[in-house]
Structure 1
């Protein structure tokens, strides 16, 4: 029996979690800045900036307002800190003197200013700003809350004229005529200069050491509305001339100049396996544009694709150059964990840190690293790593973890029906007693090209706290097991991926005698919602199911999702008019008549990735047949409800899920 001196986790505990992100070394390496995000009393989140000394380990809070402060970046001399904050009502750039004093607002752009970075000499700041075609970056004025409300009211009375294919985004809603442009702020004369102007989004990547070139990624093609490519470009700051480094056939980003400015490193790929293509690591010669791929012999995903529901901030994935320009450092995703890796310019790979957990970010200074690490029983802390030791620097959730019992997962490896090896984990319930039996819930991740692993996952821990055995696996289609594995579910949704999941259930039932064989539940979101629908349409072995932000009908998904017009072909092999019969075969709605499992449907009303009509079709069909089904709609919530939605909505969602399983699996 497990130790019950600590209490069980509750849905409401979500408001107690501190989430750390974005560690950034100070230029002299004596300290680092980071962001701490937590739910506040206004049903939103507050993000504050902290700076921690590496000498006395003192972490000082530098912002205190009830706002979202993020993206801290030190000036090269360490005397200033630029950051992004919505304290004035719109995300703007603010400047702090590191020796003390109040923050000063630098920008007052109508639609905000984002993601600042200092030039290498500290004379200017480069940032991104959403601008309309005729906007003047030198004459921007932030609206008051009344002005913003008046403009929104006026827009709500006007029709929206749409003439492009890509006209909506789950993150941004219906798109208007604004595009992300790159702006340079001159610190000396207090002036702004717009550097880009094409009617497309420009993603700032880096500035050359001499300050003469801006590196950015964008699709500048005339047919960009029909393409998902993103090229790397060099912009001459003086002449505004643009040189394109890549060939227009791929998607490139995370790009950075070497310390001497002669080379550029980046992640990228050319869609060899569509959305299931592993990233490669490229190095370009900045002058000639010639490139080499360092990762030809590697077979794992570069970057962090660990899936979770707690991370509330961006962090560094790499590639980051060593000081001498001879090595690159980056995160990599492998076998349910993420680690820190090093590669030389010949492609020799070295694993610097992988302790079977989740490295979610890092910062580097003279061979010393700050690592952000999460484990299944820790939402995340920062650690200092040198060649000789790993030293914990923060204790973000000490009081919470002191009082709440979390479950440590048991790793599983089993054989699918075609002899493929499948990886997964099992969480035992709170107060586990090996002499008792417990119901089991199978969790299916989204993506499908994501990865469950050794990170903190609130929903999984909550189900264990409520008395359930929780099974979560990486069926084929998941990242972390090589290119062949991640590609294996495409054009086979509901095939071997479904078989992998059923093999997982069979395996744990045969090897763990504390599970009720007739009290099984299943749930998942997005692709996991699709798979939940598919499972209960093809077997009646589950006694209860919860489908979240699901797909039920690929025929309609093609035209209503913000990604449907390309994702459908990527994943199923055909677009709507190419083979509607095939799309219908892949649609769980076709098999609704077979569904006898009590089903709870959970969906956000502003979800544009898997629009709520997918759940509406399923609910009406099942209800019309008088099946046991319930529909919970969350207003003002998009596809990210479970991860970054309003705290009260997230808590309500969790309580509905556990309620449904309690009603049907406790009998």
Structure 2
């Protein structure tokens, strides 16, 4: 580790790695390296051997080999004025990329090659043009995060040959919103939303016989299915849950024999599928699960880590990768490659079989900059569960104060993953406290289930964590700050209405009023009913009790509100209401609105906006923690 201190602009020096894909015939693979160039992201596909001989292969992202290995499919945008997505093919044995197809005002997703490598199947999503600027809406949700109206979207399934000829497959029902597709021989399987309005969080599964050109609905009674792959002509494996703990119920892996025999491969394991560790150096598509013969490889969030597991169809479970955060992986013929990072190391590509790091894109940053491990504490919650708590001291001689960082979700987690923001705060003289209160991912369903409890046990967990760190390290309790985004923004708003413990606060993409959150956002009408309890007209008292806006008369802490104007996950009125109430009451407050950004500002916003956000946070704490 070096002695240089991070500045906000140094985020531009980091290489973001993603999209591992092993060649089906050769001992080679591709991955994507993305860098911030000027005020945008530039992605290149690299071709590498398993020993680490790497070369730049093409400009683009989302690479996918054809089954015969002759072509690599990828996305790029060579026409910068074109509003839409372009798909390209490049021959493996040499030659220039050529345009396969492009889609105006839309995108392809869940792309799957046909077994004969003669074409691809995909979900096609198009925003239809309209001569009128008036929006006539009859469905829910009204819009989606990022700013597009749902009413104008048309979803379809298409098959496109390698010559660019596209054919649409007739959908199984009118209200068709596919979320995932898989392909096995003549079976095209589609997971689709059951009903956008009445059952938005539930799914249905349909299988299309490519020979008979007929749809058949699978007889599954699970409320939610996220992924499915066929083992053979009759049996398949899938990820799903029964909704016992609401929307945030942990998924289990199931093996479908027939409608009367479905085996829970996880059995009593309370694992949290996928990588939910917070990280601000993650960019691009990643794999969470893969079926190889009779073995399923998958990533979970397990307390402070995101390991890779494998499980066989007879239930034999084994942890393959134990430490840090598995960001992506691919495996063929027992050759496993993966992208890993942790609190002290930025993402790089590794070979499991050779026990070797294959890339060194971020080595200079790790070598030259001050990056230190946090101290760890175990703190008892009020229900006797153990809270994982970390404290990262300042990297400077001067201690300007200590910032409590609160993650979003709430079902995500902090842990052994790289957070540039934490190292940046430490480089600017601030200590950082972070923890996983009740509601967090990785500790089981019971711990994560805070439906109807927002602002209660989770709030008290956070205060216990702060008090324990302050006492343990003899910190100045008069120099505390707090910040968080999304659910963390909600908790920041809640905290300033409950205590004067903090001298400054920064709330980001937050929630202040559950009434407006219910009726204005792309997930509000079903997320809020699940998390708070019922519709507003059914549970007025709870909505009021849990909304920071209705407790704003107690707020005194100087508050900076950061919000994106195209954030339709937590819409901008959430910030405007709270800002206005604080201003009217004479509380020191400031509102920073980011144009053309959405809920993902801190993770994938324009580079200059991400840097501006960092600077606003640091400046606010500098001025108000004295």
- In the superposition, the TM-score normalised over structure 2's length comes to 0.95
Shift of 1:247: 3.2
The CA deviation at 1:46 is 1.2
> What secondary structure, in the 3-state scheme, does the structure 1 residue paired with 2:466 have?
helix
- Structure 2 residue aligned with 1:106, among 100, 108, 114? 100
Are residues 1:50 and 2:46 paired? yes
Query: For residue 235 of structure 1, what is the aligned residue in structure 2?
Result: 208
* Runs (5+) with no aligned partner, structure 1: 134-150
**Aligned residues of 2:139 and 2:151 also touching (Cα < 8 A):** no
Structure 2 unaligned runs (5+)?
none
Q: C-alpha distance in 2, partners of 1:313/1:225?
A: 32
Alignment of 1:629-648 (within 5 A): 629-648=589-608
Deviation at 1:288, TM superposition (A): 6.7
Q: Counterpart of 1:61?
A: 56
The alignment status of 1:269 with 2:241, answered yes or no, reads yes
Which of 352, 359, 362 is 1:397 aligned to? 362
> Residue 284 of structure 1 corresponds to which residue in structure 2?
256
Q: Decide which of 451, 454, 465 is 1:493's aligned counterpart.
A: 454
- The size of the alignment, in residue pairs, is 620
Q: Structure 1 residues 131 and 418, CA, compared in 2 at 3 Å: closer, same or farther? A: closer
Matched, 1:611 2:571: yes
In angstroms, what is the RMSD of aligned CA positions? 2.0
Q: CA 1:365–1:660 in structure 2 vs 1: closer, same or farther (change >3 Å)?
A: same
Indicate if the aligned counterparts of 2:481 and 2:621 stay in contact, CA closer than 8 A: yes
Cα gap change, 1:437 to 1:49, in 2 (>3 Å) = closer
CA–CA separation in structure 1 for the residues paired with 2:486 and 2:164: 47
Q: Distance in 1 between matches of 2:553 and 2:127?
A: 50
- 2 CA distance for matches of 1:224 and 1:597? 40
Of residues 141, 153, 159 in structure 2, which corresponds to 1:184? 159
State whether residues 179 and 193 of structure 2, in contact with CA within 8 Å, keep that contact through their aligned partners in structure 1: no
Paired position in structure 2 for 1:118: 113
Deviation (angstroms), 1:92: 1.9
For residues 113 and 558 of structure 1, the distance between their equivalents in structure 2, rounded to whole angstroms, comes to 28
Indicate the residue corresponding to 2:390 in structure 1: 425
Q: What is aligned with 1:169?
A: 144
- CA drift of 1:29 comes to 4.9
Q: Following the alignment from structure 2 to structure 1, what is the Cα–Cα distance between the partners of residues 26 and 265?
A: 29
Alpha-carbon distance, 1:398 to partner = 2.2
Distance in 2, Cα, partners of 1:261 & 1:86: 39
Q: Is the contact made by 1:229 and 1:248 (CA closer than 8 Å) also made in structure 2?
A: no
For residue 34 of structure 2, what is the aligned residue in structure 1? 37
Aligned equivalents of 1:122 and 1:113: distance in 2? Answer: 21
2 CA distance for matches of 1:623 and 1:113? Answer: 42
Moved more, 398-407 or 357-366: 398-407
Greater mean alpha carbon deviation, residues 21-30 or residues 167-176? 167-176
Q: Which moved more, 1:540-549 or 1:574-583?
A: 574-583
In structure 2, what is the equivalent of residue 477 of structure 1? 439
Counterpart position of 1:20 = 17
Residue 301 of structure 1: aligned partner:
272
Tell me, in whole angstroms, the C-alpha distance in 1 between the residues paired with 2:508 and 2:219: 39
Shift of the alpha carbon at 1:73? 1.0
In the alignment, the residues of structure 1 paired with residue 431 and residue 170 of structure 2 have an alpha-carbon distance, to the nearest angstrom, of: 54
Distance 1:103 1:630, change over 3 A: same
Q: Look up the match of 1:384.
A: 351
Give the direction of change, closer, same or farther, for the CA distance of 1:598–1:172 in structure 2 (3 Å limit): closer
Counterpart among 315, 321, 336 of residue 291 in structure 2: 321
Native 8 Å contact 1:446 1:525 kept in 2: yes
Match of 1:358 in 2: 325
CA contact (8 A) 1:26 1:78 kept: yes
**Would you say 1:216 and 2:190 are equivalent positions?**
yes
Q: Check if 1:533 corresponds to 2:524.
A: no
The alpha carbon displacement at 1:273 in A equals 1.0
Whole-angstrom distance in 1 between the partners of 2:374 and 2:19:
27
The structure-2 alpha-carbon separation of the partners of 1:382 and 1:664, relative to structure 1 and needing over 3 Å to count, comes to: same
Equivalents in 2 of 1:126, 1:348: separation in Å?
Answer: 33
CA distance 1:601–1:204, change in 2 (3 Å): closer
| Cα distance in structure 2, aligned partners of 1:44 and 1:230 | 36
Instruction: Provide the residue aligned with 2:177 in structure 1.
Output: 201
Tell me, in whole angstroms, the C-alpha distance in 1 between the residues paired with 2:147 and 2:346. 27
Q: Which residue of 2 aligns with 1:87?
A: 78
Counterparts of 1:289 and 1:60 in 2: how far apart (Å)? 51
Contact 2:490 2:511 in 1 (8 A): yes
1:250 shift after superposition? 1.5
Superposition pairs for residues 124-135 of structure 1, below 5 Å?
Answer: 124-131=119-126
Q: Following TM superposition, by how much is the alpha carbon of 1:30 offset from its aligned partner in structure 2, in angstroms?
A: 0.8
Change in Cα spacing, 1:213 to 1:172, as seen in structure 2 (3 Å) is farther
The secondary structure found in structure 1 opposite 2:141 is: coil
Whether the 8 Å CA contact 1:37–1:312 is kept in 2: the answer is: yes
Say which SS state the counterpart of residue 581 (structure 1) adopts: helix
Paired position in structure 1 for 2:305: 337
Q: Distance in 2 between matches of 1:132 and 1:456?
A: 36
Equivalent residue of 2:103, what SS?
A: coil
Question: 1: CA distance between counterparts of 2:194 and 2:431?
Answer: 50
- Residue 654 of structure 1 deviates from its aligned partner by 0.8
Distance (Å, rounded) in 2 between the aligned partners of 1:193 and 1:40: 37
Structure 1 distance, partners of 2:416, 2:300, is 14
Report deviation, 1:562.
1.4
Q: Is the 8 A contact 1:245 1:289 kept in 2?
A: no
For 2:532 and 2:164, locate their aligned partners in 1 and report how far apart those are by CA, in whole Å.
53
1-structure distance, mates of 2:58, 2:147: 27
Structure 2 Cα separation of the partners of residues 358 and 533 of structure 1: 30
> Would you say the 8 A contact 2:85–2:102 is kept in 1?
no
- Return the offset for 1:246: 4.8
Q: Kindly tell me: are residues 190 and 313 of structure 1, through their superposed partners in 2, closer, same or farther at Cα, counting changes over 3 Å? A: closer
- The answer on whether the counterparts of 2:101 and 2:164 sit within 8 Å (CA) in structure 1 is no
Distance 1:583 1:158, change over 3 A: same
> What do residues 395-445 of structure 1 show as CA deviations (whole Å, max 9, x unaligned)?
1212333322223222221112342211122212213x5xx7551100011
